[in-house]
A and B are shown apart, each in its own frame.
Chain A
Amino acid sequence: MYGGGQVFESSSVNNELLKDEDPQKLAEFEARIERGEKIEPNDWMPKLYRKQLIRMIEQHGHSEIIGALPEGTWITRAPGFKRKLALMAKVQDEVGHAQLLYGAAETLGKSREQMIEDLITGKSKYSNIFNYPTFTWADSCFISWLVDAGAIVNQLANARGSYGPYCRALDRICAEESFHLKYGHHCVIHLATGTPKQREMMQEAVDRWWPPMMHFFGPSDKMSTHTQILTKWKVKMATNDECRQQFLDMYVPKIWELGLTIPDENLKKNSETGEWEFTEPDWEEFKRVINGDGPCNKERLAVRRTAEERGAWVRRALTAKTKGEEYVAPLA
């Protein structure tokens, strides 16, 4: 699960990296993308393209592995067999997505262990929304349905991007996300149309999760730094605002039809522009949380580090088995 709001390098660094590329190779590379062909790992590519892709795919991978934690909070408490099996499978999928994404990023030349180290040392980021807590079962249902819905909007766009291995991973991921989405919707429908206690749980979850959900796609386009070249190279496929609008258009009616209230009285579709209007999200909070000061940042990293530490002896033992054999990047 992943939204927008990726942290890209600033444009001055971009320009620096682009300066000494071979103009002819660059032109051929751009022509290939222009023709709608995918770039494969052994193709020539600009350094900046490689760098930004690694950064984006890696952040996406981290978001999956950290994203397994808030929902995992309810894995031992899911009510009934159907929910128990589904939630186990869903959280497993998130771990699986991380595996796929890291594999795609590895084809660009960064090893998985290096990426994981950069995650647990706090060097690289993951999606902000997973720094919020899941107080009740209904919170996990909100994530399964709506956070995954938001992720699908973003991932379907990125699946049309230019890098072959990332697109292949995303195709597989989106197919699995359709299960998450249906499962989550199913859970929310049951709560929203259920007993008064269930309805109350669900409404409270919507109230809690709406603000982070609006943050999920990243800052408004008018605030974000220029990503023109990344758009041209089909690294970034849709703007934050486009994704947010698409999400609102698809899901607000589905939330309302369940009799749930969205905690933003300004939320409405402008019938003239066809655009959704809403209260400007609190971007100061977004920045605060992304910089480490959210309700669960500390816990998420502590858990990931603990998992690494507890598994260290297993990996230490097994790496002894492959002594002499060299790690190489995946082929595709």
Chain B
Amino acid sequence: MTEEALKDLLYKIADDLLILGHRNSEWTGVGPLLEEDIAFSSMAQDKVGQSLAFYNLLHELGEQDPDTVAFTRNADQFHNSQFVELPIGEYDFSLIRHFLFDHADYIRFSMLADCPIEELAQVARKLKGEIKYHVMHANTWIKQLATANEEAHDRLQKSLDEALPYALGVFEPSKFEKEIIDAGVYPGEKAIEEQWKENIAIVLEQAGLKLPDWNTIKPVYGGRDGKHTEHLQPLVEEMSEVFRVDPSADW
């Protein structure tokens, strides 16, 4: 497998985590209840910390240091799925995104934990426990809230319907897909997607939320190739506002 293929894989994982962690930190201090404010903030921190672990792997492969990579690129140089860059919306949307994304990430990290590239496998094994809590958190919230009253159920159903096409975009195959699968790095995006559909279906059924026929949903692709919604460039500019005052300065 070429180094280019490996870097492509690491970039998309890292960028997804950074952008989602950044988005979710927008709730810190203004969450729906105090304890959840704290828990959601912890998970946002976990995501940013996880992205840093992957940028560090990239740095070891010769890419620039994590701060430069994260705080000086423009939107079209980011490889994250469009799903993670969408605004936080109301809490129902943020919860649904957290649920859909973390289920995918848990499968991804479980697969990467067995990867033959030892440095990558180590990171995946280590971070899997954090994501396990994120999945517990997401499952419990979705189940409790969707079964609580009609208003909550309907909000979650609506957000789920809106989120699904973007969520499928997480599994956009990369141009190195075959190369990576052949090298045994992990079984590929299609395999994650299949497992993910099974896993979320179980929880959603318990929550009384409906999944549409998958054939009727068109995945939103493009993010992995640097094609983004209008939301990412402002996000990136905001994130790097201070850093760009003087990128060579020590902040």
- Do chains A and B stick together as partners? yes
Report which A residues bind B (CB closer than 8 A): 65, 68-69, 72, 74-81, 83-85, 88-89, 91-92, 94-96, 98-99, 102, 112, 137, 187, 190-191, 194-195, 197-198, 303, 306-307, 310-311, 313-318, 320-321
The answer, yes or no, to whether B191 is at the interface (CB within 8 Å) is no
Which chain A residue lies CB-closest to B55? A81
- The minimal Cβ–Cβ distance linking B125 to chain A, given in whole angstroms, is 21
* Chain B contacts for A99, CB-based, 8 A: 34-35, 38
A-B contact count (CB 8 A): 134
17 CB contacts below 8 A, A to B, read A69-B29, A76-B22, A81-B55, A81-B70, A84-B48, A89-B41, A91-B28, A92-B45, A95-B34, A96-B38, A99-B35, A190-B251, A191-B251, A310-B90, A311-B31, A317-B152, A320-B149
Report which B residues bind A (CB closer than 8 A): 22, 25-26, 28-38, 41-42, 44-45, 48-49, 52, 55, 66-67, 70-71, 90-91, 144-145, 148-149, 151-152, 155, 238-243, 245-246, 249-251
Whole-angstrom CA separation of A316 from B152 in the bound complex: 9
Known: A314-B91, A317-B145. A88 touches B48 (CB 8 A): yes
- A-B residue pairs, 3 tightest by C-beta: A311-B32, A317-B152, A317-B148
- The minimal Cβ–Cβ distance linking A156 to chain B, given in whole angstroms, is 24
Task: Let me know if B239 and A76 touch, CB within 8 A.
Answer: yes
Whole-angstrom CA separation of A311 from B34 in the bound complex: 10
Task: Let me know if A92 and B32 touch, CB within 8 A.
Answer: no
- Which of these, A75, A137, A303, A316, contacts B151 with CB under 8 Å? A316
Task: Let me know if B33 and A77 touch, CB within 8 A.
Answer: no
* Chain A contacts for B245, CB-based, 8 A: 79, 197
Identify the interface centre among B34, B48, B148, B152: most chain A CB within 10 Å of its CB.
B34
Known pairs A89-B41, A99-B35, A198-B246; list 12 more (Cβ under 8 Å). Answer: A75-B25, A76-B22, A76-B26, A77-B241, A92-B42, A95-B34, A102-B34, A191-B251, A197-B249, A198-B249, A307-B31, A320-B149
- Which of these, A77, A91, A98, A190, contacts B239 with CB under 8 Å? A77
Identify the interface centre among B22, B28, B45, B249: most chain A CB within 10 Å of its CB.
B28
Which chain B residue lies CB-closest to A78? B242
- The minimal Cβ–Cβ distance linking B188 to chain A, given in whole angstroms, is 29
- The minimal Cβ–Cβ distance linking B247 to chain A, given in whole angstroms, is 9
* Chain B contacts for A78, CB-based, 8 A: 242
- The minimal Cβ–Cβ distance linking A233 to chain B, given in whole angstroms, is 29
Whole-angstrom CA separation of A195 from B242 in the bound complex: 13
Task: Let me know if B149 and A316 touch, CB within 8 A.
Answer: yes
Which chain B residue lies CB-closest to A89? B45
Whole-angstrom CA separation of A244 from B241 in the bound complex: 35
Identify the interface centre among A80, A99, A310: most chain B CB within 10 Å of its CB.
A80
- The minimal Cβ–Cβ distance linking B71 to chain A, given in whole angstroms, is 7
* Chain A contacts for B243, CB-based, 8 A: 79-80
Which chain A residue lies CB-closest to B68? A80
Known: A311-B32, A317-B145. A81 touches B91 (CB 8 A): no
- Which of these, B25, B67, B148, contacts A320 with CB under 8 Å? B148
